[in-house]
Structure 1
């Protein structure tokens, strides 16, 4: 299995820059395969890394094997040809260690600040994805002239078939998942909410289009919180501090959607552990991941050791070290 890291986003990235990069240099030494960073532009509260590509460039220059992914690049915010140039350059500089997660985006404030009509984001996303793939495969720039004005589909010249960085699509709607199936692009599955609804829609979209749903699902990337400890007491101590913090964060994001705090249901700890966690001793974590692999057929797992910033980097690193020593070697045989 491929085992990556995720969860360092927004407030979780604040702090010393050198120390932040050193965390992932250590991850490479421990044997993790990659790390994923998010894109949040013109945020209400600033944080150090709004550009995942710039952050990726810094980290890729300091590592030799670790892959870096974007989760996601919000395509409607970018001109696809300029973005393709930056991606191609970074992929070249890194020796092919870049992964691309792309999406339509869900931040109204960014669209407003950049004067992008929300009604056009789906069209911009789909056209940008097509243009981006064409450009990364080596299609002449002349083939793209005027294309950002949304030409008729299929109007572009055939591309030179040249490999481009692996690309994943993040999305929860039937339209986005259907588009990913049409483009033969694997899904970057969400952590919150868990991936169940996405996989149901993936299978429906594959069936409707005569595609192999199991093969498409096997190429997806799965995400899980990871809470690992030497024994049950160590795990319980970590979880007891998490539930109130997790609920507070859910209330905050619900408020941004206009939902009152008293309308946010309490945390169902048992359900969250079943649907979103790998949790327990090293042996238990290995058993749970092996079960996910067997049940879903997915061989790519993004591990969130920091609870998306609710646990400290020091706590996350301790968990990563234990996981790397006692779980990671066995996962290579799955």
Structure 2
């Protein structure tokens, strides 16, 4: 089971941007030292009181230069906002700098406000995502290629550099709405799943749809499933319960407001039920979050919960959000990360 950390390079109120980068890199260095499998980088824009991680490939290159062992994942590159050739070049470059440690996670993001800032219609996000991904794959694997699509057209392009990994870095795709699980399965990519808008039990039938579509498309083996989930580990059960409470609850309140706002914007679909999910998030209790949305506890409790989820969901790995809500002090995040690496990982690996 792959154990990774999902990082947003948090910049909560009162932090300078320099402090946000410094503390985040200190956590990256500790993860490398303590044996974490992978550091996963978000892509977040126009969020000054949340994150400074707007350029994940640039950060990935910096991490590649200061580490030698840990894999570096993008979770996720928001493809509809990208120029496909530029991203293909930059990701291939990071793959070389890291000597083949890049995992290229992609998605389209569930929040229209970033699309508005970039001047890209959210209603085009699915079509732009599919076109951009196809162009990147061709650019990585063909000596030269031409392409004529709805949003991009290229003639006799020779991309340089080609990726270090052959034929290209592993690609994983995020499911942002219920109808995308089967789509990703049909395409034959490993999948990222998450429960920010729902609960863990809701993932069971959706993952079943993903696997069914995988088999129906004739792909060999089993589609891999990776869960992004808030995780907090502490020496005692009381500390694990109490220390992240304010941060986790603030996160869900802020998420409820963002989702409620996005529910009325063009391009969102009724199938996502954003208004209903926002109302539920606004009223969610901490006890419900602990039971159905997050994993908190002592090392033994967290290991047992992860083993149970692996059996229930067929997980191949997790992306642990170690500071969901960005209010957990830096020293406590480091302690939680150390316990995850040194005491939880040995119990769940293999």
TM-score of the superposed pair, with normalisation by structure 1: 0.84
1:277 corresponds in structure 2 to: 294
In the alignment, structure 2 segments of 5+ residues that lack a partner are 154-164, 265-274
2:213 is equivalent to residue 210 of structure 1: no
**Large movers: runs of 4+ above 6 Å:** 258-263
Q: Distance in 1 between matches of 2:279 and 2:169?
A: 45
How much has 1:33 moved relative to structure 2?
A: 1.0
| Aligned 8 A contact 1:223 1:302 in 2 | yes
- Give the superposed CA RMSD: 3.3
How much has 1:91 moved relative to structure 2?
A: 0.4
Alignment of 1:270-309 (within 5 A): 270-309=287-326
SS in 1 for 2:283: coil
2:257 corresponds in structure 1 to: 252
2:26 corresponds in structure 1 to: 22
| Aligned 8 A contact 2:234 2:298 in 1 | yes
Q: Distance in 1 between matches of 2:246 and 2:181?
A: 35
How much has 1:202 moved relative to structure 2?
A: 4.1
Q: Distance in 2 between matches of 1:91 and 1:233?
A: 42
2:60 is equivalent to residue 56 of structure 1: yes
TM-score of the superposed pair, with normalisation by structure 2: 0.80
How much has 1:169 moved relative to structure 2?
A: 0.9
Alignment of 1:213-224 (within 5 A): 216-217=222-223, 219-224=224-229
Instruction: Judge which range, 36-45 or 296-305, deviates more.
Output: 36-45
Distance 1:43 1:270, change over 3 A: closer
2:196 is equivalent to residue 179 of structure 1: no
Distance 1:178 1:134, change over 3 A: farther
Q: Distance in 1 between matches of 2:146 and 2:220?
A: 34
How much has 1:199 moved relative to structure 2?
A: 4.8
2:11 corresponds in structure 1 to: 11
2:160 corresponds in structure 1 to: none
Alignment of 1:94-173 (within 5 A): 94-137=98-141, 139-141=142-144, 143-147=145-149, 149=151, 162-173=166-177
Q: Distance in 2 between matches of 1:289 and 1:52?
A: 27
Q: Distance in 2 between matches of 1:238 and 1:59?
A: 29
2:237 is equivalent to residue 232 of structure 1: yes
1:91 corresponds in structure 2 to: 95
Q: Distance in 2 between matches of 1:277 and 1:214?
A: 32
Q: Distance in 2 between matches of 1:93 and 1:296?
A: 34
Distance 1:71 1:18, change over 3 A: same
SS in 1 for 2:309: helix
Q: Distance in 1 between matches of 2:61 and 2:124?
A: 30
Give the structure with the higher percent strand: 2
SS in 1 for 2:334: helix
Alignment of 1:39-78 (within 5 A): 39-42=43-46, 47-78=51-82
Q: Distance in 2 between matches of 1:122 and 1:215?
A: 27
How much has 1:57 moved relative to structure 2?
A: 0.8
In the alignment, structure 1 segments of 5+ residues that lack a partner are 152-160
SS in 2 for 1:222: strand
For residues 75-114 of structure 1, the C-alpha deviation after alignment (integer angstroms, 9 at most, x for no partner) is 1111212211111111011111111111122333332333
Distance 1:43 1:318, change over 3 A: closer
2:332 is equivalent to residue 330 of structure 1: no
SS in 1 for 2:4: strand
How much has 1:28 moved relative to structure 2?
A: 0.8
Q: Distance in 1 between matches of 2:134 and 2:204?
A: 23
1:310 corresponds in structure 2 to: 327
How much has 1:322 moved relative to structure 2?
A: 2.3
| Aligned 8 A contact 1:76 1:121 in 2 | yes
